[in-house]
Amino acid sequence: MAFLEDTTIVFVSQVLFFAGGWIFFVKQLFKNYEIRHISVQLIFSVTFALSLTMFELIIFEILGVLDSSSRYFHWRLGLTSLLLMVIAVIPLYILYSVIHSISFVSEKWVRIMTVCCWFLFLYSLWRIGEPFPLLSVSNGIFTIEQGVSRIGVIGVTVMAILSGFGAVNCPFQSMTYFIRPVSQSDIVNLERRLLLTVDMLTGKKKRIALEMHRRNKSNQSRPRLWNILSSAVNRVDTAGENINQLRMEVYGLEELLRQLFLEINYLKNMQERQKWSQTLQGKYFNVIGHFFSVYCLYKIFMCCVNIIFDRVGRKDPVTRGLEIAVHWCGFDIDLAFWNQHISFLLVGCIVVTSIRGLLLTLTKFFYRISSSKSSNIIVLILAQIMGMYFCSSVLLMRMNMPAEYRVIITEVLGNLHFNFYHRWFDVIFLVSALSTIVVLYLSQKPWNYGDSTLE
């Protein structure tokens, strides 16, 4: 009876998660597109529900909700279902959609090629384990441990890249220190140069059009043989304009026009950020940006220490912090009580920020690259990334939980090398953060436009 009640609780929560994924799909991702394939919407919502179920079970572990045997069952069922989606269902649908969209592939070969490409995907996924210390064949092939170990490498890589980018980009976008001072006169001067460039470009294109019209008119009055001989001997009409030279000048002016337009757009965005930074929300985010900048520097430093000394944390931050408070600061507190409640708050914050950050990233990414023809395939790719992301979150979030709350997770995941994933995360995070710093630095360098171009 208890197992049935526990299953009902998990099932009802999954239905709510499914409804949330369905609404997010309709109201956010596809609000500007027509939903052509209901199966794509179903796959996305199911993956969304299974992903959130992983976080729900982590919270249940801390709070002690459900019986331990029920939690173990739903952990295995949830992980198996999520692995089935990211290894079989979604890749098959993506491959089928891509191959089916190729015009020269006949209908009878679509399914055969889809299955062949899927087997190639499975082979590539299996070969991922060779350069990394993952599980060997002796631990089985079709097991949860093998699937999570390989999906975890890809998912942890995605998480580290997004985390490294966010840790640098968030303070860069929020702090007033990085806002370039822009005056209205700067924008007006560039707009004048833009209008002057447009006038010069229009004049040169007009000269090309008039010269082409003059040549066509003169060629019609000459014999055809004379036209062939004159074009072979002398390609530039000495009595008229040099069209090739004019076209080179037009190309240079068009490039200058594009750069001026981008610079004006950039300056106007900076002007809007200046106004926003003076508001209450802007000042709040400026303070938050300073905290994130300190966190970014601390995280980069700790990643370097972990990589150099091959170090992995043995205790979760909550337990370590409470031990410092008790043994070093002399506080008399109930360790078991505060450990559970602070762990719940910490994991809850990680869950909320992870879900919110990933959904915002997926939405921005979808709007940038999607079109009416490719939108369904892109949604499937985003669902694949989302499934791998949340599956890998279980591996990394385990370290933030006290030892007594990780027992079932460790038992379900088996003999995985958890330390490897934390070291791999540190390496990719460091590369991503440093690369983002370099890219943002180069993007902030002032653009120089030679005045000689306008002469």
**Residue 25 DSSP label:** I
Q: Is the per-residue pLDDT at 176 higher than 90?
A: no
Say how far apart CA 229 and CA 312 lie, in whole Å. 80
Say how far apart CA 379 and CA 43 lie, in whole Å. 9
* Stretch 16-30: mean pLDDT: 83
* Stretch 269-276: mean pLDDT: 84
Contact 153, 423 (CB under 8 A): no
The domain ranges of the chain are 1-177+286-435, 181-222+236-282
Contacts 24+ apart (CB under 8 A), 183-187: 184/271, 186/267, 187/264, 187/267, 187/268, 187/271
The average confidence (pLDDT) of the chain is 78
**Going by C-beta distance under 8 Å and a sequence separation of 6 or more, which residues neighbour residue 107?**
none
Say how far apart CA 141 and CA 130 lie, in whole Å. 14
At 91 the pLDDT is 92
At 120 the pLDDT is 92
Within the chain, what is the greatest distance between any pair of CA atoms? 108
User: Which of the given ranges, 6-10, 148-152, 172-176, has the highest pLDDT on average?
Assistant: 6-10
The helices-and-strands tally (H runs, E runs) of the chain is 15, 0
At 454 the pLDDT is 46
Q: Is the per-residue pLDDT at 116 higher than 90?
A: yes
Contact 289, 175 (CB under 8 A): yes
For the stretch 405-446, pLDDT in tens is 778 888 888 777 778 888 888 898 889 889 988 888 887 665
Q: Is the per-residue pLDDT at 180 higher than 90?
A: no
Contact 46, 386 (CB under 8 A): no
Contact 171, 292 (CB under 8 A): yes
Around Cβ 101, how many Cβ atoms within 10 Å? 13
Shortest CA distance to 341 belongs to which of 318, 317, 320, 363?
318
Q: Which of 94-98, 274-278, 288-292 shows the lowest mean pLDDT across its residues? A: 288-292
**Going by C-beta distance under 8 Å and a sequence separation of 6 or more, which residues neighbour residue 214?**
240
At 440 the pLDDT is 82
Residue 414 phi/psi, 5-degree rounding, is: 75, -140
**Going by C-beta distance under 8 Å and a sequence separation of 6 or more, which residues neighbour residue 171?**
178, 289, 290, 292, 293, 296
Contact 441, 172 (CB under 8 A): no
* Stretch 218-236: mean pLDDT: 55
Tokens encoding 382: 């985003």
Q: Is the per-residue pLDDT at 79 higher than 50?
A: yes
At 450 the pLDDT is 47
DSSP assignment string, 250-299 = HHHHHHHHHHHHHHHHHHHHHHHHHHHHTSHHHHHHHHHHHHHHHHHHHH
Q: Which residue type is seen at 197?
A: T
Contact 96, 110 (CB under 8 A): yes
Tokens encoding 166: 């966010």
Q: b/e for 203-226, b at 16 or more Cβ within 10 A?
A: ebeebbeebeeeeeeeeeeeeeee
Please give the residue that has the higher pLDDT: either 319 or 278.
278
Please give the residue that has the higher pLDDT: either 288 or 448.
288
- What share of the chain in percent tops pLDDT 70? 74
Please give the residue that has the higher pLDDT: either 19 or 391.
19
DSSP assignment string, 372-418 = TTTHHHHHHHHHHHHHHHHHHHHHHHGGGS-GGGSHHHHHHH-S--H
Contact 392, 159 (CB under 8 A): yes
Residue 248 phi/psi, 5-degree rounding, is: -65, -40
* Stretch 363-377: mean pLDDT: 67
Shortest CA distance to 119 belongs to which of 152, 86, 92, 146?
92
At 355 the pLDDT is 63
